[in-house]
Amino acid sequence: MPPAHPFDFDAVNSDGDKLKEECGIFGAVGVTDAANFVALGLHALQHRGQEAGGIVTYDPDEGFNSARRFGYVRDNFTSQTLMKTLPGALSIGHVRYSTAGSKGAAIRDVQPFFGEFSMGGAAIAHNGNITNADALRRELIERGSIFQSSSDSECIIHLMARSLQRNIPERMEDALRRVEGAFSVVAMTRTKLIGVRDPLGVRPLVLGKIGDGWCLASETCALDIIGAEYVREIEPGEMVVITAEDGVQSHRPFRPQPSKFCIFEHVYFSRPDSIIGGQSVYETRRQIGVELARENPVEADLVCPVPDSGTPAAIGFAHESGIPFGMGIIRNQYMGRTFIEPTEHIRNMGVRLKLNVNRALIKGKRVILVDDSVVRGTTSRKIKEMILDAGAAEVHFRIASPPTAWPCFYGVDTPQREKLLAATMSEEEMCQHLGVDSLKFISLDGLYRAVGEAEGRDKSCPQYCDACFSGEYPVEPADMIKKGFQMKAAE
């Protein structure tokens, strides 16, 4: 498969030093040319997946139609010619970064997936990861199912096909009861838009109103782009079935469980202009910076964010510490596409292609760099070198999340545990490895306080999924355990 762009930074600097943002899903019903709304919604969710995207529509005269493409939404779903092939008032879409299945996968791995059942067709798009997908896939193949992709999400379609329930929503309920892990799903039939969240609510899903129609989205920022009114979050374990005629009908197909929403959505994954649980993501990240400054003060002359994800936390850190805030690092906003061919010389430039130091601001100063996380540490080392090359007197890292010491199995592309810096080094060893004057992370309790839990983390029953920091997995990763993954020993 040729690259989606002549030159892409992630292909050049593919050192896995940032956690990749799972996937984004969007659906609309009861609106003219629903695919146009879905394309706009997916554009707003592009940060959640840049590898590929797809849209499925239904029109009474044309039936089901679909388009799946590699690359960005802006490059693939703006053609009037293409959009005319996606008619109808009902549509769902998906943007993808592969977390299960092969990397650089074929077009058959791009969602939404479609299936034809005895009672009509249905399409589904899934954000998350099925932790028992290997076992389900093996069972389904042994019983005659023929898979078309390497994606774990396809298991849902096959489970629906084998269900004996009367209609597609009931078949989906039946299928999802067999699924373990994390899932937010949007699906469609000829008349219905369906949204489901797993019983723990690990991955996000929100409901919006657009004119006489309705929409579902991974984040509220996708509602804003189409002028939709935010109605509410889909609750953990809830299924909504929406039609243009009857509106929203809610079902509770799963046994109630304590919510375990992914806390890293607050730290990094969600866009800062989104709302989570009634809270501004931007304000939460600013408060993370406040807590970080309280826990880990240091004498310095400048607080500088690592753009763009570190900016709100750096603003909070600067305000709380009284140290001036400055944009000491400038991001090249046009890095996603360029005519420059990725020669070996260009590849060796690495992070400098994406970020540049504001030398006039940095020179001679003791600099605090605020970033959202440290994964492998390779990018952090390069940024430190750039800051020192610009004449900084000292470099101090302050990280707006606890050390990432455990892989995620719920829809986030995480390196193997032995490749996570915090899994093999203490904080002091990481500081020496990065070659900085100091390195400090926010505590897990501090992070919980920043997201609104005044008493910090409830150790007996954590309020969020924080497995990437704590090693405490709310759903046992069955497939990975069979492959030899060692869970954290009980304390």
What is the separation, in whole angstroms, between the first and last Cα of the chain? 47
Catalytic member of 23, 262, 304, 408: 23
In order, the DSSP letters of 457-486 are --TTS-SEE-HHHH---SS--HHHHHTTPP
CA 16 from chain center: how many Å? 15
Sign of CA dihedral 377, 289, 298, 453: negative
CB atoms within 10 A of CB 103: 12
DSSP state of 300: -
Sign of CA dihedral 124, 125, 131, 136: positive
d(CA 167, CA 160): 10
Active-site residue, 23 included: yes
Residues in CB range of 237: below 8 A, 6 or more apart = 197, 198, 199, 200, 201, 252, 253, 254, 255, 256, 257
d(CA 215, CA 195): 10
Residues in CB range of 440: below 8 A, 6 or more apart = 292, 295, 296, 298, 396, 397, 398, 399, 427
Place of tokens 């953990």: 236
d(CA 183, CA 196): 8
Residues in CB range of 308: below 8 A, 6 or more apart = 331
Which of the residues are catalytic? 23
